Amino acid sequence: MKYLPTIGIECHVQLATKTKLFSEVDNDARGKEPNSCVSPVDYALPGMLPRLNGEAIRLAILAGRAMNCKINSHSRFDRKHYFYPDSPKGYQITQFYEPIIGEGFVELPSGTKIRIEHAHLEGDAGKLTHFDTYSLVDLNRVDTPLIEIVSMPDIHSAKDAHDYCKELWRLMIFAGVSYGDLYNGNMRFDVNISLAPETSKELGTRAEIKNLNSFRSVERAVEYEITRQTKLLEKGEKIIQETRGWNDASGKTTAQRSKEEAKDYRYMPEPDLPPINLSADFIDTESAKLPPMPKDYRDKFHGIIADDILEIMLDYPQLINKTNEIDQKHLKSISNLFVSVLLAEEKSAEFLNDLPSAKDLNELAEMNEKKELSSTATKEVFLRLFDPQMKNRGAKNIAKELGLIQENDLGALEKIVDIVLAKPETKKAQDDYKNGEQKVIGFLVGQVMKESKGKANPSAVQDILKKKLA
């Protein structure tokens, strides 16, 4: 029997506000000491009341619009009760009944659309670090504002799960609503997977894999879970509805606890926060601030930049933003340099914040297209544009200083070719070429390049050689 996997994903996106969702404490705890970004509101000192951060509302609107979602003019907060060491209040302030973001969809690069059921605002929980015999609690993350994006069960493969999570990450980065730092937990994915016979109209029992923080982990976890559940079903065993953890090193999921239902959380309206009522004008004004999204760039550059190059560039908004300054006729060559040279050579992302000027990049592309620079020389000058000692000198000046500009004067090249052909050591190669051995032309071109100290245009040299040896 064949089984069809059905996958729904809940994505937690920490919003890039300056302060937390319900207090005036620094929201960016990256590199900070544990429990240093906390307030009496965060650790639930009796009598402390939450105050809603208005910037979180604005960012939630942008996030919703990035996912083609409806923004609800009326929403409110609820209490989700559970007791865990990283939740001092004993409950989480969230939006269960009336979320701020309604239904929408995310379109994958393949064109597949994954429906969004809703996304709600909530305060994040703290962080537990587990050791052999004890655990440590860090409350820096408590009440970090986040939206939880809930997809419909429209995903049916590990690859689409990977692509959906990656596209969500891109949308949140381009919209400017999150730092998108996966390592520091700015985005985390909970993946629900169930299997059912292909002919079945009902979904199978689902297992949830919690807190995945990389696209590759999402894909691997889904692949493993599909295999695990398939084996159980083939043996006639039942799938247990439970929460499972993912071990990246072993490549396996393991049971953690039985899966709670909504009733287990005893949801109730949050008594300390009023409802959120947004005017149509406010929603429209904030929505208009949404910058171009990945799909806009795909449409804009289709047929200009190769699809595989563009998809890589979409992981680096700084590169895509720079393309807006580049002459369209140079977009293909510059985008190739960005991906095949810059991203391959640089190991740190800091260089992305200080890219060369559009003038230098356009000048470099022009020189390459006029064959004033070889492809190797073009790459060398391109990397020198990032060198602090050569920055702002201009691509042409750098090429001249390094002696990389090719000789394109046909008269001058013909004289060099004549010198090479007059040498006794090239006589055999000339005879071989005349006898039909086409490959030896490469040897002769190499001799001309050597004679010209690397400055001759090899394409022009080859044309001259072929005419003289015809």
- Asked if residue 384 and residue 251 are part of one domain, the reply reads no
Amino acid at 88: P
Look up the domain containing 172 and give its range.
Answer: 3-285
Tell the residue number behind the tokens 């083939």, with chain if given.
Answer: 234
Please answer whether residues 6 and 229 qualify as being in contact, where contact means their C-beta atoms are separated by less than 8 angstroms.
no
pLDDT in tens, 227-273: 999 999 999 999 999 999 999 999 999 998 876 677 888 999 999 99
Region 133-155 average pLDDT = 96
Q: Lowest mean pLDDT: which of 17-21, 215-219, 379-383?
A: 379-383
pLDDT score, position 407:
63
| 441 pLDDT more than 90 | no
- What pLDDT digit, counting tens, does each position of 344-357 carry? 876 556 778 889 99
Domain check: are 19 and 159 in the same one?
yes
pLDDT mean over 44-52: 92
How many other β-carbons are positioned within 10 Å of the β-carbon of residue 437?
11
Q: Are residues 394 and 449 in the same domain?
A: no
DSSP 250-313: TTEEEEEEEPPPGGGG--EE-TTSPPEE--HHHHHHHHTT----HHHHHHHHTTTS-HHHHHHH
Task: Report the pLDDT averaged over residues 213-238.
Answer: 96
Q: Are residues 141 and 206 in the same domain?
A: yes
CATH number at residue 440: 1.10.10.410
Identify whether residues 77 and 168 lie together within a single domain: yes
CA–CA gap between residue 144 and residue 138 (Å, rounded): 13
Domain end call among 285, 318, 350? 285
Residues 40 and 104 occupy one common structural domain: yes
Domain boundary, last residue among 350, 367, 401: 401
DSSP 363-390: HHHHHHHTTSS-HHHHHHHHHHTT-TTT
Q: How many domains does the chain have?
A: 3
Query: Quick one: 119 and 70 in the same domain?
Result: yes
Q: Tell me: do 152 and 224 sit in the same domain.
A: yes
238 and 306: one domain?
no
Domain boundary among 401, 429, 459: 401
Q: Do 384 and 436 fall within a single domain?
A: no
